[in-house]
Amino acid sequence: MALGLQPERGVLNDLNPHLINFYAQLRRGLAMEIETRYDQKLFYAHRARFNELIKNGGARTVEAAQLFYYLNRTCFNGLCRFNQSGEFNVPFGQYKTVNYATDFHSYRKLFRGWSFTNKDLAQLSIESDDFIYADPPYDVEFTTYSAGGFSWNDQVRTAELLARHRGPVLLSNQATRRIVSLYRSLKFDLRFLDAPRRISCNGNRETSREVLATKNLG
């Protein structure tokens, strides 16, 4: 969503520090120097190296960003999943072919005025009239997008924080019964749509019912 709008200035925040490191390296002009090939042996070697970097304090490096990109492109269904120790644990994916980018310098101009943060939503410095697009982890059984997980209490707290924001808000989530009830109770305006499943923990590619919740859009 944020990339589609292409604002000159923006803050991209995510609870996954590896995604934020990848974007931060894009801003510096990331180019792939590691081997990128659709090969099972190479995948598990790169996964082991990535987890070694995480364990030894190298998660914010250029190498870690390259490995994160490769693993995400090559792993099962494009999942981003970590265990409680913070290790990436998604297995090798089954594809006919995988295309890998080799140079991301074209993003340097786009991200010149952006900042990338890995904070709790409540800790962000937000002006009262800022436009916020929030895309929390979907309300499904898969909650290990980051090492700490994302619980139902986190869903509620996120929605309540956004409901108090005085500026325009756009919030997206899977349209589960309790998510719809939560957003309605907080006086969001709701729209529903069927969206394709690009990423799934079980390989299901059927459309998914999603909800767009808005406030103060005028």
pLDDT in tens, 70-90: 999 999 999 888 888 889 999
Distance CA 54, CA 76 (A): 21
Which tokens is 125 given? 């410095």
Residue 198 has pLDDT above 60, yes or no: no
Higher pLDDT among residues 178 and 3, named by residue: 178
Residues 136-145 have a mean pLDDT of 71
Residue 197 has pLDDT above 90, yes or no: no
User: What pLDDT, on a 0 to 100 scale, did the predictor assign at position 213?
Assistant: 98
Work out the percent of the chain whose per-residue pLDDT is above 70: 88
- State how far the alpha carbon of 72 is from the alpha carbons of 20, 40, 128, 177, 199, in Å: 14, 14, 35, 30, 11
Residue 201: pLDDT band (50, 70, 90) is: very low
Q: Report all structural domains of the chain as residue ranges with CATH numbers, in order of start.
A: 13-109 (1.10.1020.10), 119-215 (3.40.50.150)
With H, G, I as helix, E, B as strand and everything else as coil, classify residue 59: coil
Residue 150: pLDDT band (50, 70, 90) is: confident
Tell me if 52 sits within 8 A of 73, measured CB to CB.
no
Q: Tell me the Ramachandran region of residue 29: left when phi exceeds 0, alpha when psi lies from -120 to 50, beta otherwise.
A: left
User: What pLDDT, on a 0 to 100 scale, did the predictor assign at position 4?
Assistant: 61
Which tokens is 155 given? 């869903």
Mean pLDDT, the chain, integer: 90
Work out the percent of the chain whose per-residue pLDDT is above 90: 74
Query: How many residues appear in the chain?
Result: 218
Stated pTM of the model: 0.85
Distance CA 179, CA 105 (A): 39
- Taking only the tens place, the pLDDT of each residue in 24-61 is 999 999 999 999 999 999 999 999 999 999 999 999 99
- Taking only the tens place, the pLDDT of each residue in 158-188 is 999 999 999 999 999 999 999 999 999 999 9
- Taking only the tens place, the pLDDT of each residue in 80-126 is 888 888 899 999 999 999 999 999 999 998 898 999 999 999 999 99
User: What pLDDT, on a 0 to 100 scale, did the predictor assign at position 84?
Assistant: 84
Residue 97: partners with Cβ closer than 8 Å, 6 or more residues away: 38
| Burial (Cβ within 10 Å: 0-12, 13-18, ≥19) of residue 126 | middle
Residue 206 has pLDDT above 70, yes or no: no
User: Any idea what DSSP says for residue 78?
Assistant: G
Residue 136 has pLDDT above 80, yes or no: yes
